[in-house]
Structure 1
């Protein structure tokens, strides 16, 4: 019988000020003190509108040539960390002690709730996995709801392998999240929830393997702007039965109001999200999308946030898209965004809002997921300096990462994170690792010193596809040789956006490749994902992209194979991957689309 422990955050008291509607206007940039509201540079007006400016990757900088990536704002603020607590139990979960939930004294009438937001799972370990759903009262009012969960080895639930109950309330937005333990490593499970006779769709998940592992397959995704189009790539993933997990590198939601950034579909709420209620509504809106629900239904997600789960170009103590005069203290908004994320995402929570964590997939892969966004990041600089105090990860996270890289015995050291570590000329990405040159050099020099092989970095954020070698200085021939790979410390695979727009026109691709010797392949703007196929001999990333313009079409569109690149065991450099790795033979059955 499986056991369960509660994975939940408590209720957060107090919400920030409602955000004012963004207006069109000035094209300059401003910096503000998010806590006090005082100005540190001249305020040139309101948010930029109608310019496609908020891409979430860089901020305004002085380009080396006339070719630029985008034109953004910069800002400052202050932060708070949100705590998370877990409590164990046998097979019935209860609200955490400080959640503010009333005792179980009834609930909605049987059959008076719906599972409108589907089911999800995540953070697989060899013996446990997070299961998630949300109940919606049909009458709009509900005190408590006791939700039953069940697991099975088959989609028809002929044999129930585990069960329990979870009591949810408005304090956690009626979300349900259980950490089901006592599972078998490397095994597919089916799960479902029910209230009375009302059942959720059946979900499908998989635990991480242990011991000797000969193959793993992950889908790697990021950046799903609802306003820019339809989530066809998520639907493609839902139809793949042979994935071990979906790795989501952030920008799962976007915080903007309608028509500021994208106009294919509209948001709920229609204004920018600032308060806890706003963020909850935005997640609920996303999870009504059938394609996203289908992807969650079929695969466990391993997710991290980027900036748009908070506000554009967020950092530890502020964001360029946060305006304290109209939106209140950044610390309150940041805490609200964290709480909504933990409520709505199938993530195993840790203290103080920390999401950097490690997943072991037997002896084949150690996956280390980072927070380059709001844990330790210093404010972005338009002209990045060599100030050694400027941090991207923070000292504790950086030490944790280097310790794991040096101590792991897994064949492949895979780092999942948000922003690109390799530079792409002629631009300067001040929001990426290049904007923190001392921190970037320190990390890469540590890799070189420990002579760590088989490092692969998975990156999202920049809405385009790239495969590149990682070198401390890829532009100096004595430091990096693209022909032999000398000087390369590992490889970086950058996944495209699900829908968010790319930067570069196709016409400049040849120029970018010629100016960046470490850049082996790229696509500047098509949407999609890549499949990371892992064996003891090699890692292969195979990109699957949608045709241009297809995300704006409601009718089903499908991705197609575009390119594959590999890194061989101990090569620490890229090689052309040829054809994509074949899917697994006879994978476990997908979950049925309707409640079983």
Structure 2
């Protein structure tokens, strides 16, 4: 994947851009700044087998996905591994274990769907391969029955080249989360070289991702980040893709930024989806290119639908108002619309308190219904939005909260059919997370002016901030849902400060916001975090060593031939 740079003359000065291109092209693995990743840099020097960390995701009440990648140390095309699931953070009490083989054909990634677990329990896990052991991860299954409190965090839009993942560091430091939701743009396909000139964080490969190898390298680049690794190993994640996991403003048949000289769209889409499924702790569907929407139930407290507004069934974005207003247009696709309808109806009938929709693009109106601002959002698909509002109204579905990413800013909005009508009633509320690192309005004064202008124009807007990066903490009880916007003051340096920017409550049975009088309190006895790096734990030496003879035999050059 090396990029060859031709120079017109050796007398020409070496620009910083050229320097970044050269160093990125020559690197075998993504460059790591010693100031931010000393542990990983040390491991790479001694050929560390687990350079991309461990992760868990898609928990259910009896199972969870465990993930890692094994970097082959001797050029082989298959590697044996072992895995261990434990009750305690020191991994002294092993509940389940097994072995397997990962192959070059799946980029040496490992993804296990471990079942037979107990509901609402914390577990710890790790992997071993090539005589080494991974870090220890912590995960948690979903609860069943009566649930009195749930704490979730959600965020989106993490651009490696645009800044440090300080937001992930904040999430990793929390011990009180039941799960982390990522609502899309986990990676960016752009080269982003201009941003790298400021941050020194270089995308690998240094050009735009188009091929399978490109997307694999881009995922590896992101998972080389220590803060992202820490957030993954401390919490189970629920992820859904947006457009930049493939290409900007993607839909099922193409993307605004995909050109003919980048090859066939179907091949690019298949490559991006394959790399995503290899590198993410998500439970795969039989036809992932037709959508990755999934459903999760947290006892009687929360019903969560993770929607796919990109690849499942999105019609091509409209080019004019007549096309945009066509009554048959869909953002989710009719199959996903019916799936969502069934889930919301069941949750209401079964007495689940809160119905959360995790999705990508803003649902509330940014302009009037007749003059929308952005056709890529739900404003570009008003018929699809009306069908969802019909469902909420006709089936009396209460306590619907839409969780949104994409727009690199913080919002709290009421959802109306037409918020500009005096007698309009709110049907639900929408909470929008700021980005991990992708930029909003980076000038503080301009960001404040833009926020003030919008608050004067949009009657359904409760709160907006364009400047900060961060995440939204949800503290959910049967009586109310409290949303707290936790932000960092900078991403251009790993040295930063964080604080809670705003806190709002939605009382149960309403679709309105009230100011929170105090920050929410975590449970009294949160589970212990996963311990420090495994290489620093002497008691884990007994796990070191080669994989079992059976696994080594499976990974031999003759196996499977």
Query: Would the TM-score normalized by the shorter structure come out above 0.5?
Result: yes
Q: Offset at 1:366? A: 0.6
What is the aligned counterpart of 1:497 among 435, 438, 442? 435
What is the aligned counterpart of 1:527 among 461, 469, 480? 469
Alignment partner of 1:346 is 2:281: yes
Alignment partner of 1:321 is 2:291: no
Q: Offset at 1:210? A: 0.7
* Secondary structure of 2:455's aligned partner: helix
Tell whether the 8 Å contact from 2:447 to 2:465 is kept in structure 1 after alignment.
no
Alignment partner of 1:239 is 2:173: yes
Q: Offset at 1:20? A: 13
Aligned residues: 479
Alignment partner of 1:364 is 2:304: no
Structure 1 residue aligned with 2:239: 303
Deviations along 1:18-51, one digit per CA (max 9) or x if unpaired, are: 9999xxxxxxxxxxxxxxxxxxxxxxxxxxxxxx
Tell whether the 8 Å contact from 1:121 to 1:205 is kept in structure 2 after alignment.
yes
CA distance in 1, matches of 2:420, 2:2: 47
* Secondary structure of 1:505's aligned partner: helix
Q: Offset at 1:197? A: 3.2
What is the aligned counterpart of 1:282 among 205, 211, 218? 218
CA distance in 1, matches of 2:3, 2:204: 14
Alignment partner of 1:133 is 2:68: yes
Q: Offset at 1:167? A: 1.1
Q: Offset at 1:516? A: 0.8
Does 353-362 or 297-306 show the bigger shift?
353-362
Structure 1 residue aligned with 2:58: 123
Return 5+ residue gaps in structure 2 as ranges.
6-45, 535-539, 541-561
Q: Offset at 1:196? A: 4.7
CA distance in 2, matches of 1:137, 1:369: 34
Q: Offset at 1:565? A: 1.3
Q: Offset at 1:112? A: 7.3
What is the aligned counterpart of 2:121 among 165, 187, 190? 187
Alignment partner of 1:380 is 2:314: no
Structure 1 residue aligned with 2:494: 554
CA distance in 2, matches of 1:304, 1:19: 31
* Secondary structure of 1:461's aligned partner: coil
* Secondary structure of 1:124's aligned partner: coil
Structure 2 residue aligned with 1:593: 532
Give the TM-score of the pair, scaled to structure 2: 0.83
Deviations along 1:42-83, one digit per CA (max 9) or x if unpaired, are: xxxxxxxxxxxxxxxxxxxxxxxxxxxxxxxxxxxxxxxxxx
Structure 1 residue aligned with 2:193: 259
CA distance in 2, matches of 1:318, 1:460: 21
Does 487-496 or 565-574 show the bigger shift?
565-574
Tell whether the 8 Å contact from 2:366 to 2:379 is kept in structure 1 after alignment.
no
Structure 1 residue aligned with 2:108: 174
Give the TM-score of the pair, scaled to structure 1: 0.78
Tell whether the 8 Å contact from 1:256 to 1:273 is kept in structure 2 after alignment.
yes
CA distance in 2, matches of 1:381, 1:261: 31
Tell whether the 8 Å contact from 1:166 to 1:178 is kept in structure 2 after alignment.
no
* Secondary structure of 1:488's aligned partner: coil
Does 572-581 or 238-247 show the bigger shift?
572-581
Q: CA RMSD in A?
A: 1.9
Tell whether the 8 Å contact from 2:49 to 2:73 is kept in structure 1 after alignment.
yes
Structure 1 residue aligned with 2:415: 470
Change (3 A) 1:593 1:558: farther
Q: Offset at 1:260? A: 5.2
Tell whether the 8 Å contact from 2:86 to 2:96 is kept in structure 1 after alignment.
yes
